[in-house]
Structure 1
């Protein structure tokens, strides 16, 4: 079996490559140019170029005609409010993935986002209607709809994997976990943050990678699925638990940062099989 991974240099992509190395599969990876290549842990990996801004005539052939394409690429993050997602990223991804399908790709797994749900609260099933309130969420949601419409003309298997809140090594420095870790290791006494009462759905990135690979290695027509824990955890509890587990002396300073207005105070995912 041959699996293509686009966005393989990114936070999730690096962990997906490590997870794929545990399986007897051929891996074709592509990511942004520049920088060191992630360690794959396997000799069954090849890096092939695929520029989303200047794609080849046959994107499927460019990645050596994989059995499954696991698409993790997306630029412009973590600025969720930028129109860049709609104006630049969205048309690039539509063009590349549609090209691959029309040239023979049979199975596609794409990373979506919980921000597609918008300001809906509580436990959210993958079958729930989407109401994105950010350009990033809207762009992802539109890509999903375009791919589903494409299935009418070009039948292929699609899994739209909505990712919730992840944490782990190689995460962007502005995210909660690396910010906390950096402050603690720098010896700071306090960590300024929001009130911490938000309820979120957290998974370590290694588990996210494991679930994405499991979806890719069992090709099927799944539609939308949540990649989530199904367990609401407050941001306050998340921070305090990480501090305690690492034996740090840093103290959270609650109420120093505002709550994000593009997220509800309390939402989490319903895992596959529960909705």
Structure 2
């Protein structure tokens, strides 16, 4: 079966591509290299360098005739969305609607969309399940939720099977420092460079999930007859200050961070309930936070040493 994957040169997309290839899917990817890199794309993957706004995207659908679409391409920085909401809307919402139109036109069997825990806003209860009230607190979250609603409407009106995965804070090798979960790559890279790490309060909690577990969830969402919204998370609460201590411990670095005041508008606690995904996808986590951090530290350490030779 052939999968058209947008954002395949990016952090999450490259890992999803590897997971699909491992399970004998044929993968075609689109990426504009704004945040992705050519080196992230396996040689056996057919690649189109273009933006989702490019008119040639339809030619990709026409030529490749994908069975599935996995839409990972996005403007993923909350801060960038607040300074340029139009670009955020155009990339995340308009781009999704265009792909939905083409998926309908070219008879795609299923449309898989990467959404975010940010749509829930400040939680009313923990862990946050899929029925929690939606309360977007950034243009990024709003653009993602708007895209979700277009997908649901397409499913209702046009019979396009779809699945929406709301990711918690994804981390792992190849992550850049942009986006909500970039804190791990920031901590590691600053410690490697012997720079002071800034922590804003540090009492906030997040739900960190290793990227390879996310990739498996994406693959299972295609294979299983699952529709609707699923949280993809570890369902484990970790304080940012505790996260720093774990990373510094793995790296055997005794350096004190610089604690700064909490940033305005930052969500205090975030933990997603993953029971629905576990049940409906027969999915489970294979990486603890400690194991995932060890693998991530090793990746960035090797990359840093290579760059300094």
For 1:92-107, what aligned pairs fall within 5 Å after superposition?
Answer: 92-107=95-110
Q: Distance in 2 between matches of 1:88 and 1:167?
A: 22
Give the unaligned 5+ runs of structure 1.
Answer: none
Q: Match of 2:241?
A: 236
CA contact (8 A) 1:193 1:253 kept: yes
CA contact (8 A) 2:206 2:271 kept: yes
Q: Identify the structure with the greater helix proportion.
A: 2
Backbone CA RMSD of aligned residues: 2.4
Distance 1:204 1:106, change over 3 A: same
**Residues 149-194 of structure 1: CA deviation (Å, up to 9, x unaligned):** 1122211211100111122222222521122112211223x42211
Q: Match of 1:21?
A: 21
Q: Identify the structure with the greater strand proportion.
A: 1
Q: Give the Å deviation of 1:24.
A: 1.3
Q: Match of 1:37?
A: 38
Q: Give the Å deviation of 1:69.
A: 0.9
Give the unaligned 5+ runs of structure 2.
Answer: 280-309
Q: Match of 2:205?
A: 199
CA contact (8 A) 2:122 2:269 kept: no
CA contact (8 A) 1:163 1:228 kept: yes
**TM superposition score normalised by structure 2:** 0.79
Distance 1:42 1:210, change over 3 A: farther
Q: Does 1:170 align with 2:170?
A: no
Q: Distance in 2 between matches of 1:16 and 1:203?
A: 14
Distance 1:129 1:60, change over 3 A: farther
Q: Distance in 2 between matches of 1:33 and 1:177?
A: 22
- Larger RCO: Structure 1 or Structure 2 (Cα < 8 Å, ≥ 6 residues apart)? 1
